Structure 1
């Protein structure tokens, strides 16, 4: 009887060993994005095309409007990873955080706003920035990256935003398009797809790009607390791999294909408008081709912040940027 029982136990163990292995449970990662914007097309593509799932990650995406709310959610543990402007990590450091927020994968590498006027350019020529002087300009929130990139550009063309313009900055981000459409301002600083929507409706016309004018900088990046990276390095590497797949796919795909992949995230926006907006961002190189934040981009970011009077002291590149995950992803993901 003992021999029979031993034989049965051996057969059970053998069957278990030879049977199908249970799939590893996906690791959940909670992302908080600062806004819902097609400027973040590589992120939506990476989710919709299944690249995060391929890496064994289960993504929970929420929108936490505003950099302050996004950073609060990250610091309090409400989210694991934030998709927000890199300047927010510098603000946290300036406040003396003992657990620094680390930028580990860049998503956009230029400003994403455009200068929209009530009238189109005469003859389709190049916009004369000097024509802004004396006008009423509906700008972005003070201290945010869009406003700082906007002011940096204006100063490049010898325009003092506070003295040469009637500058309006007290309108909430979500209400800026409505304010312009209702008659406030002669010029406005807008993201896509709102800029293209206004052109289609004849309410405004894109006359210049702040992204082109302000140059390359880590405008939006994935970041997390150093303590999270220390405990979850393998997860961060998988995350960087998935995003590199998304970035590769966006670079290789047409505006039509990208629109098809991300349109579910913008159910209320016409697909032709999404397509035009995606093409505009592709044409000016706004989507980063990899997650690496180079030092020149980091320094340009701080130049923009200094010009806006929002930088107390310059932040050390190596302290707040960790490229090891993005570099490995770029080498391994094809």
Structure 2
């Protein structure tokens, strides 16, 4: 098994299986995808007869090309893309989720003691955008939900995240929004910066989902998706059952550029705050995000859950897992 050329171990028994190729294309490599990486490393997909490989294209929207030319079985990314494209460019169906919360954090200079979201009105906020529009979409939705006019904030969001992070530390802007892992790593290096808010605490939302072109779905594809969901669910359960300190070495291997204590801290924070719950897309979280996308102008109006999501593979996987536990 490999992620962009990184070989993952498997048991001798698993190697003897006749495995079905399952090529996944993803918009990035992120800690909020951790249960998938655990499922790969621990052979949970191979148990379902799937030889899962992962490609991360540059730029990220190459995932849509991979679906179109058939080099990928499915894509992993934000649900805002299938929503925005629907009835305009291409129909995509979402069948599973991995991240149930937003993995971003708000950084500020100085102490974050007493911070309130309303403090951000009339400020300048730096936001990375290299991986798509999700960062700005979620933050502006959060402002609207809290009665803050998103137009009362100035944004710098068309630059690379590393560049923006350096500029923020050098004095540009009032706040910087980036992924939680990068935020905590910055704080560990820079005592003049603090985390004002971890957005994982800000309610359910289908942040990262799996999808493919609707017209290509067949009974055989649905069966493969079900088996993928079984393996992914085992990965989620495994992560939830193990304190991150107990798999320190794996985290160090998976995220070698991040201090391992930072990776452990973020993982346990995500475990506590429902980043990973189920392979099924939560209906209330979906409706919340749809309203946010509509308010942002990406949709004419929110889509109904069943228009975008087919929960059948995830539901079938849950039934299969329950039957296996009872047998």
Instruction: Give your verdict on TM over 0.5.
Output: yes
- The residue number in structure 1 matching 2:23 is 30
Q: Does 1:77 align with 2:70?
A: yes
Tell me which residue corresponds to 1:42.
Answer: 35
SS at match of 1:78: coil
Aligned runs of 1:101-250 on 2, under 5 Å?
A: 101-122=92-113, 125=114, 127-141=115-129, 144-162=133-151, 164-173=152-161, 175-202=163-190, 203-213=192-202, 215-230=203-218, 231-250=220-239
How many residues align? The count is 305
Deviates more, 1:23-32 or 1:296-305: 23-32
Q: Indicate conservation of the 8 Å contact 1:112/1:146, yes or no.
A: no
Distance in 2, Cα, partners of 1:256 & 1:130: 36
Cα deviation, residue 153, structure 1: 1.2
In angstroms, what is the RMSD of aligned CA positions? 2.2
C-alpha distance in 1 between matches for 2:174 and 2:116: 15
CA distance in 2 between counterparts of 1:243 and 1:316 reads 25
Q: Which 4+ stretches in 1 moved above 6 angstroms? A: none
Partner of 1:7: none
Shift, 1:93, TM fit = 1.0
Higher relative contact order (CA 8 A, sep 6+): 1
Question: After alignment, is 55-64 or 137-146 more displaced?
Answer: 137-146
Change (3 A) 1:260 1:303: farther
**Structure (1 or 2) with the larger CA radius of gyration:** 1
Q: What residue is the counterpart of 1:257 in the other structure? A: 246
Shift of residue 206 of structure 1? 1.0
What SS class does the counterpart of residue 217 from structure 2 fall into? helix
The answer to whether the aligner puts 1:64 opposite 2:57 as a matched pair is yes
CA distance in 2 between counterparts of 1:56 and 1:332 reads 15
The worse-fitting range, judged by mean Cα deviation, of 225-234 and 244-253 is 225-234
2:314 counterpart residue number: 326
Query: Using the alignment, how far apart are the partners of 2:242 and 2:40 within structure 1?
Result: 16
Offset of residue 262 of structure 1: 4.1
Give the deviation of 1:238 after TM superposition: 1.2
Q: Which runs of 5+ in 1 are unaligned?
A: 1-21
Following superposition, the deviation at residue 293 of structure 1 comes to 1.3
Distance 2:162 2:92 in 1: 26
